Structure 1
């Protein structure tokens, strides 16, 4: 599955558009992460627990996006974006979204594996 932030894929043409698709996850931080983040915010520096949480959330949302697009028959997603929302300081929602499409290589461009 090719996933790009642009509206097209160089060397390919969009043969069919399925429409918008999503990958969504909502996760809560554990108590230790909240306490550690509170202490760390007093002295400054990276909040590693929250960084890991956001990374994991984005990977899961991206995987779900690719699964949904594939189930619709797409082999690519264009105009890909992330949206992140925090809930009351205890949870994080990450939504990955884009347009599910079928792309075909242009003449002289070998298909990508």
Structure 2
């Protein structure tokens, strides 16, 4: 597995900036659009569940589940950006992830934040 299998986030060329902070240095919030979110639910495939069960007996990282969770978080974030863009935002402030088990069959991941229009301070 490569380093990209364990991380995510935006590319430097994204037209919608996503940050976990309340503001962006050098910019001011011109307009608050409101809450946006991206949601996805992923089930685990049988092979990763069996492997995770065996691995949990001896300890160590569950790499198959890690990779699945990274892919799920990235998909939720992509959906968050799509929603922000569709509503006219160029940034999402205070982005967070919420992760829960969904009816014991998968993992629900929600990326959420506040969609805004930022302008550079002059």
TM-score calculated relative to the size of structure 2: 0.85
Q: Does 1:4 align with 2:39?
A: no
- Matched residue SS, 2:66: helix
Question: CA separation in 2, counterparts of 1:100 and 1:47?
Answer: 34
* Residue of structure 2 equivalent to 1:85: 100
* Residue of structure 1 equivalent to 2:50: 35
Question: CA separation in 2, counterparts of 1:71 and 1:84?
Answer: 24
Q: Which runs of 5+ in 1 are unaligned?
A: 108-113
Q: Offset of 1:89 from its aligned partner? A: 4.4
- Matched residue SS, 1:74: coil
> Which residue of 13, 28, 42 maps to 2:28?
13
Deviations 1:2-45 (A, max 9, x none): 11101111100000001000000000000111111000000000
Q: Does the aligned pair in 1 maintain the 2:96–2:112 contact within 8 Å?
A: yes
Aligned-residue Cα RMSD (Å) equals 0.8
* Residue of structure 2 equivalent to 1:111: none
* Residue of structure 1 equivalent to 2:12: none
* Residue of structure 1 equivalent to 2:69: 54
Number of residue-to-residue matches in the alignment? 107
Q: Offset of 1:88 from its aligned partner? A: 4.9
